[in-house]
């Protein structure tokens, strides 16, 4: 097994909700994946509001496809 060192700021440490400075790769991957999903969801929500998609029903949205 190999060990790598990754440096992040204190702000990022808190932002990602890290509780330990020693993580396994799967733990780090999960934390990063969750953060990316949150960012994409926020982006999607803003775009939906911008283009009026947040006001249509799911059935209408499927018909647009």
Q: What is the DSSP code string of 7-36?
A: ---HHHHHHTT---S---HHHHHHHHHHHH
Q: Does residue 35 contact residue 43 with C-beta atoms inside 8 Å? A: no
32/12 Cα distance (integer angstroms): 11
Looking at the domain assignment, is residue 16 inside a domain?
no
Domain residue limits at 57:
24-64
Looking at the domain assignment, is residue 42 inside a domain?
yes
pTM of the full predicted structure? 0.68
Long-range contacts of 30-38 (CB under 8 A, 24+ apart): none
Domain count, the chain: 1
Note the pLDDT tens digit of each residue in 18-53.
Answer: 999 999 999 999 999 999 999 998 898 888 888 887
């Amino acid at each position: 097994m190999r060990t790598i060192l990754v440096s992040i700021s204190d702000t990022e440490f808190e932002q990602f909700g890290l509780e330990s400075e020693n993580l396994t790769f799967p733990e780090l991957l999960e934390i990063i994946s969750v953060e990316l999903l949150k960012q994409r969801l926020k982006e999607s929500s803003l775009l939906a509001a911008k283009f009026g998609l947040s006001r249509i029903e799911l059935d209408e949205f499927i018909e647009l496809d």
